[in-house]
Amino acid sequence: MHRIGLGHDTHRLGPGDGLVLGGITIPHDRQALGHSDADVLLHAITDAVLGAAALGDIGEMFPDTDPANKGRDSAGMLAAAADRLAAAGWRIVNLDCVIFAQRPKILPHRERMRERIAAILDLGIEAVWLKAKTGEGVGPIGSEQAIAAECVVLIERN
């Protein structure tokens, strides 16, 4: 039996000295703003993983009303979601993600992000794919007010 999950996340951008994305920090003059480390990509993956198995969502597992989640590492949140998935008898087959950002260019960092995500989820790198789209200078993505990510994950019963 297989299931598909979809995850999405958006964060505002503000002045900063690095962007946490895909479990790594990318040099950039902006940063994502959020209660945790604001890694939109790992948040989208976490929601996709949980949603595929009908196990809740990131906000239920790690509510922003809980002070313990202030500044939390999104890699730990994704690992906890993957543990919940495994405990429910599922495993990830693959995931396909899109990052929506005007800047920085994602391609130079893609392999490091794929490696980090694969390591967090204990997957082969071939099971993790990332691509990026700009906002073409339009809307909150294009004007660098926001960054977003979407992810589709395929899971199967163990």
CATH number at residue 72: 3.30.1330.50
Domain that holds residue 122: 2-157
d(CA 30, CA 119): 26
- pTM value > 0.75: yes
Under the banding of pLDDT at 50, 70 and 90, the label for residue 153 is very high
**Encoded tokens for 127:** 């099971």
d(CA 88, CA 78): 15
pLDDT at 71 over 90: no
* Mean pLDDT across the chain: 97
pLDDT at 69 over 90: no
Domain count, the chain: 1
